[in-house]
Structure 1
Amino acid sequence: MMDIIKAIIEGIVEGLTEFAPISSTGHLILVGDLIGFTGDKAKTFEIFIQLGSILAVVVLYFKRFLSLFGLAKIEGERNPLNLLHIIIAAIPASVLGLVCHDFIKDKLFSPTTVLVGLVAGGILLIVADKRGNHAKSETIDHISYKQAFQIGLFQCLSLWPGFSRAGSTISGGLLIGCGYKAAAEFSFILAVPMMVGATGLDLLKSLDTLSPKDLPLFLTGFITAFIVAMLSIVFFLKLLQRIKLTPFAIYRFVLSALFLVYMLLI
């Protein structure tokens, strides 16, 4: 029963943080350390439940995903976002992630590396807020192939736990001329192939550590993350338009300081 409660806690954390620029992986590692949910199974669980959040994106942007494959039309757009944009943006982090997968999971999944990522990512958010205020691509359908690739390069930063995939891609989008909403929505959609690929790879490499009795734990986390993410995506888009990125950076700095104090005291 205790494991199920931990799964619900982690699922809530994942759903709340996956699409905000504060690092869902970093929060899961920190919370897992606090509640005693650590080890190889926990690492795989933390990656698996991200699929729950990803499913929320697919549901909310269902028509958009159909349009990527030419199965639906986006009203008023002659050259809407297409599948090639997503492929181009996914290439850099996919290649780097495949090459460095074992190193990242074995060496970088720790509270210390997360704290470094939270601070470094917070600095990037502030820079993007200050310099990324001249949007050329106001909507997601105005993003060019060049911009998609550039956002993909920024996404590579998220391979460091704590840096934040959403934070790196949204910041990158702003710095290369996208508006806040365009950068955020492109980040949401790009998350789907990236996280499906990362989760599939991790599950294949972790099959020997899993068993059928783990299914209730994983399903609980998955369902919780899905429900919470559905609510948080809509809320985050409205919040981002109002407060921009700097408050999220301040939150990251405060969280890092608090957890550093906690680590020094235990």
Structure 2
Amino acid sequence: MNEIINIILLGIVEGVTEFLPVSSTGHLILATKLLGYDATRWEVFNIVIQLGAILAIVVLYWRTFWAVGMGLLRRDPVSIRFVRNVLVAFIPAAVIGLAIHKQIEALLGNAEVVSIALIVGGFAIIAVERFAPKSNIVGVADIPLPKVIGIGFLQCMAMVPGVSRSGATILGALALGVERRTAAEFSFFLAIPTMLGATTLELVKNRHELVSGHGVGLAAIALGFAVAFVVALIVVKAFVGIVTRFGFVPFAWYRIVAGSIALAWILSI
């Protein structure tokens, strides 16, 4: 029973944090450490349940994806640019992620790295919000290709746990002159191929552990997936509203406070 409760808690953490610029992976690592779990055993669980949050984006933006799909059949330039931008921004993460996969894995159990990255990322958000150029790009399809490539490379910073994939892409977009709502939505859409790729890689690599039951079982992953999906449905809508009205600074201060508390706790152990 206790493990079921913890699985639900981890699913909630994933659903709440996946699309906020606060690092879902970092929070899952900290939560796993707080609950006293073996980080290696729960590594696959923490990555795969992110697909639940990704599914929430597909459901929430199904009209957008439908319109883009129909547009592609008509060879509509806007739809073509939309797909091009998402795929081009995904390529750096795919190439670099495969090249340094082992180094990334070595950091996934390091809660101290997560704490420091949360703090540094918080100050980075405040700086970007203050000094970013005036936003004049509205719409994912309207982001110029050079800026798309830049956002794609900036997303790779999130390979360090605690940096936040959504945070890196959103801040990169803001710094390059993309308005807030578009920056957030581009991060949502870019998450789909990025997380699908990461999850597929983990499932293939750890297929024997999943079958043998040495890691977290498929039933636990399914429950965490479902919880993350439901929670993400709620959070994404609220997030877009908060960002449009207040910007990203509230999340910056949350990162700084949470990272400081976590670091103090880790150093005291």
Which residue of 1 is the match for residue 78 of structure 2? 79
Deviation of the 1:55 alpha carbon:
0.3
For these two proteins, the number of residue pairs brought into alignment is 264
Pair 1:225-2:228 in alignment: yes
Deviation at 1:139, TM superposition (A): 2.6
TM-score with structure 1 length normalisation? 0.93
SS, match of residue 6 in structure 2: helix
Query: Secondary structure of 2:134's match?
Result: coil
CA distance in 2, matches of 1:217, 1:170: 31
Structure 1: 4+ residue segments shifted above 6 A:
none
> 1:49 maps to what in 2?
49
Q: Is it true that 1:257 corresponds to 2:256 in the alignment?
A: no
- Correspondences of 1:128-143 after superposition (within 5 Å): 128-143=128-143
Q: Distance in 1 between matches of 2:252 and 2:153?
A: 21
Tell me which residue corresponds to 2:245: 242
Aligned residue identity for 1:189: F
Unaligned runs of 5+ in 2: none
Summarize the Cα distance change of 1:212–1:61 in structure 2 as closer, same or farther, 3 Å threshold.
Answer: farther
What's the counterpart of residue 18 of structure 1?
18
Would the aligned equivalents of 2:39 and 2:109 in 1 still touch at CA under 8 Å? no
TM-score norm. by structure 2 comes to 0.92
Verify: 1:4 aligned to 2:4, yes or no. yes
CA–CA separation in structure 2 for the residues paired with 1:124 and 1:92: 22
What stretches of structure 1 of length at least 5 have no aligned partner? none
Q: Which amino acid aligns with 2:197?
A: G
Q: Is the 8 A contact 2:8 2:227 kept in 1?
A: yes
Structure 1 residue 226 displacement after superposition: 0.1
Cα RMSD of the aligned pairs, angstroms, is 1.9
For residue 8 of structure 1, give the secondary structure of its aligned residue in structure 2. Answer: helix
Is the CA contact (8 Å cut-off) linking 1:66 and 1:72 kept in structure 2?
Answer: no
Quote the residue 2:91 is aligned against.
Answer: 91
Deviation at 1:142, TM superposition (A): 2.0
Q: Which moved more, 1:38-47 or 1:194-203?
A: 38-47
How far the C-alpha of 1:211 sits from its partner, in A, is: 2.9
Cα distance in 2 between the residues matched to 1:39 and 1:244: 33
Q: Percentage identity across aligned positions?
A: 39
Instruction: Give runs of aligned pairs for residues 62-211 of structure 1, distance below 5 A.
Output: 62-70=62-70, 79-80=78-79, 81-211=81-211
Q: More displaced, 83-92 or 64-73? A: 64-73
Conservation of the 8 A alpha-carbon contact between 1:69 and 1:82:
no
Distance 1:72 1:88, change over 3 A: closer
